[in-house]
Amino acid sequence: MKKKVLVVGGVAGGATFASQLRMLDKESEIIVFEKDGTMSFANCGLPYYLGGFVKDKKQLIAATPESFQKDKSIEVRILHEVTGIKRDEKKIIIQDHIKNERYEESYDVLLYSPGAVPIKPDIKGLSNGNCYSLRSFKDMLKLDEHITKRNYQSVCLVGGGFIGLEMAENFKARGLDVHLVQRADHVLNLLDQDLSAMLEEELKEQGVHIHLSATVEEIKADGKMLQLSDGDEISADFLLLATGIKPNHYLAEQAGLVIGETGGVKVNEFMQTSDPDIYAVGDVIESFDFITKKPKRVPLAWVAHREAYIAAMHITGSHLPFKGILGTAICKVFDLTAALTGHSEKSLQKQEIDFETVSLTARQHAGYYPGAEKFTIKVHFCPYTGKLFGAQAVGKDGVDKRMDVLSTAISSGLTITDLQALELSYAPPYSAPKDPVNMLGYKAVPKLKKTFPQ
């Protein structure tokens, strides 16, 4: 039976869902509502346009309303903001910002994917400064224009997570003087501290001023002088606020949908909310951890895309459950790459999970082959069962493929000693006869509390 499916949000989760649904269902009517003027853009590419690595902003546009209509028979209404959900009537309320009109649209199935909103830090005199966030295509264009027209020469990055680190490199590439202020005692808090220290050293070598265990307490009246909590004062023409995001669940909450303990919209393994006719995907939802099965939110692109596919499958009658989130992520920090999957030391300690750690510093390929560089990799595992809990790596080259192997190993239920037996590709320009991943499996043996097959 032909359905009418409405989609709230037209970026990663919403646009992917609509596209996947059309692939599975050629008949249903699909309408996507996007409040901004751009749909389906490469959110993760925004920093690299600002840094000049991506030359043409059009390269960041994955699809347009016209291409969706022509190629997929999906209607996309940009500058149409969904302002309410009438669950009892199965309708949504829309504000058309083009015609300045308000109207309603009925649905059989609703997909809710409005994303997340930036967390605004508690800074005295925040309105004094030139403060920006980077969440949308519009944010990127505004910041790019202001840097040029206002001749900004310096920036303070408030937050040392993925966005803060990526923007440190991209703002330096643009010729700006960069300060990075991080509340925690090390950057990229998801990493173990010893690996974060490698990133901090790289940042300093590249001329980034790092302020750890500090926050911006006040922006002075001139809008440029910043008072830090550690007593330091720094000057910056503008601030990029990168202190995290929170689910944009306002409409869901107003509609009476259940909100989970982490603040995201609660969904089941098929992406259904507490209303079975309303699905939700992406940064707005609470999902669960692959390893511990506990509630978890991870605002990453792969997660949103996978959730979108599972929702589309379920709507068309295929019950493919979501298996949980590892949080596999990677970040370029100048000449270094940092990658991680699963749980860190801090996460495992907080949950009181007994674990052991094995680490290795190796070269990404044969040492005699030109370009050999060292990288450090570590794995956390259960000493009684060998179960893999998480992995991390930092280095100049070879980090990404090792982390992908380890993510696959965890997802497949392999143990620490199973890493020994992985037959990984080898030639001198690429690896060693026993890859660093294999070596982790061998090095872990003395730390096991029982004997495993090897």
289 forms beta bridges with 325
What amino acid occupies position 118? Answer: P
In a 3-state reduction of DSSP, which class is residue 341?
Answer: strand
Q: Which helix (H) or strand (E) holds 173?
A: helix 162-173
Tokens of 290: 């692959």
Residue 331 annotated as catalytic: no
Convert 278-305 to b/e letters by CB count within 10 Å (16 or more is b). bbbbbbbbbbbbbbbeeebbbbbbebbb
Beta 177-182 vs 209-212: how paired, if at all? parallel
What amino acid occupies position 97? Answer: H
Tokens of 241: 């606020």
* Residues belonging to the chain: 454
- Considering the candidates 44, 131, 156, 382, report the single residue annotated as catalytic: 44
Q: How far apart are the first and last CA of the chain?
A: 54
* Cβ atoms of 59 and 98 closer than 8 Å: no
* Cβ atoms of 347 and 414 closer than 8 Å: no
Distance between CA atoms of 326 and 305, rounded to whole angstroms? Answer: 14
Catalytic (active-site) positions? 44
